[in-house]
Amino acid sequence: MAELTYRDAVAAGIAQEMERDPTVYFIGEDVAAAGGVFKATVGLLERFGPDRVRDTPISEEAIVGAAMGAAMTGLRPIVELMFSDFLATCWDIVANQIAKTRYMTNGQVAMPLVIRTANGAGSRFGAQHSQALENWAMAVPGLKVVAPTTPADVKGLIAAAVRDPDPVIVFEAKSLYAVKGEVPDGEHVEELGRAAVLRVGEDLTIAALGPMVPRAVEAAGRLAEEGVSAEVIDVRSLVPLDTATILDSVRRTSRLVTVEENPRLCGWGAELVSIVAEECFDDLDAAPIRITTPHVPVPAADALEDAAVPSVARIVETIRANLG
């Protein structure tokens, strides 16, 4: 096991797949010589050369459009969009073309394309550079959506995304880029659509995603000091969604809390609550609880951004209040 930062695990995952498969290449703004604006792709240009690691113009439409054409002709492109917010500028290509091509050609044209993008708050970048947008992508049929939390998951889920025949959007938490963790040596591939149970508990299930996962784990630790046993699940993959693991947990604990950075309206937690209500309503001892960011643009001011995004304290206080 090697200890890597989250950002170094990004480069490790891309390098693993480029080494394994010569059809894999990587493009994006400042990803080559500069190593990415978040320094997540340092060393790839030197290792694989300018034919396979290329800087692009500042045009998200051009980046994903070129990658779509390459995927249709047999390559496996990895695209970096600097901020997930910039998906808005190329959403027509992503949602109306990339997501639908395999379906509309009856499987004759595969779309093995990966879009990586830095997602979420925590860096004081303001409303146009700090959104958590997993719910946008989750709502589009034909897209697969993952959000790794740990360096090991970063490497393994990027690898799985590259190998998948469908387009996959990988939402990387910019607030976690500096976090360190153990990453398996050699080839490491995770499974798309598989949640991870990080902490076993009996009194309630906490389902969290991305940077909310370590906050949920810390909150569970504080609750344990008060005699509350919380099970924590890292959802990891929204499409496909591991409903089996989540439903099994809720059936045992009889309570569900979702913690998400998405704005409250139409977040992934609402979908999860709906599934739980349909599938195991009779197992619930109380109504599910959603802990979210309010339905407001992300503030740039430090104190306001911190107040908007779910904190460990808010998770603990909300659960404590609902348990009585």
For 165-193, how does the pLDDT look when each residue is reduced to its tens digit (9 = 90+)? 999 999 999 999 999 999 999 999 999 99
Evaluate if residue 1 carries a pLDDT over 90: no
Evaluate if residue 59 carries a pLDDT over 90: yes
Cis peptide preceding 240, ω within 30 of 0: yes
pLDDT at residue 140, rounded to an integer:
98
Does an H or E element contain 263, and which?
A: strand 256-263
CATH entry 3.40.50.170 includes domain 2-183: no
Residues facing 206 on adjacent strands: 232, 257
Q: Is the fold of 2-183 the same as that of 196-323?
A: yes
**Angle between helix 243-253 and helix 268-280 axes, rounded to 10 deg:** 60
Q: At residue 27, what is the residue type?
A: I
Q: Which two tokens stand for residue 178?
A: 């500096």
Biggest CA–CA distance in the chain, Å, is: 61
This prediction has a pTM of 0.97
Which of the residues 76, 129, 188, 215 is marked catalytic?
129
d(CA 244, CA 239) in angstroms, rounded, equals 13
Q: Spelled out in words, what is the top-level CATH class assigned to the domain 196-323?
A: alpha beta
pLDDT at residue 202, rounded to an integer:
97
Does an H or E element contain 18, and which?
A: helix 6-20
CA contacts within 13 A on the Cβ side of 125? 17
**How far is residue 146 CA from its own chain's centroid?**
4
Phi first, then psi, for residue 69 (nearest 5°) are: -60, -40
Rounded average pLDDT over 23-28 = 98
The order of strands in the sheet holding 24-28 is 53-55, 24-28, 76-83, 114-119, 168-173, 144-146, 237-239
Q: Which residues of 55-67 are buried (b: 16+ CB within 10 A; e: fewer)?
A: ebeeebeebbbbb
Q: Which two tokens stand for residue 83?
A: 């901020």
273 compared with 323, residue with greater pLDDT: 273
CA contacts within 13 A on the Cβ side of 6? 17
pLDDT band at 313 (very low <50, low <70, confident <90, very high): very high
Contact (CB, 8 A) for 204 and 231: yes
pLDDT at residue 171, rounded to an integer:
98
pLDDT at residue 193, rounded to an integer:
97
d(CA 41, CA 15) in angstroms, rounded, equals 9
Evaluate if residue 84 carries a pLDDT over 80: yes
Ordered by start, the domain boundaries in the chain are: 2-183, 196-323
Compute the mean pLDDT over every residue in the chain, rounded to the nearest whole number. Answer: 97
pLDDT at residue 58, rounded to an integer:
95
Contact (CB, 8 A) for 206 and 249: no
pLDDT at residue 324, rounded to an integer:
77
Active site (annotated) includes residue 129: yes
* Residues belonging to the chain: 324
HEC letters along 84-106: HHHHHHHHHHHHHHHCCHHHHCC
CA contacts within 13 A on the Cβ side of 9? 32
d(CA 184, CA 61) in angstroms, rounded, equals 35
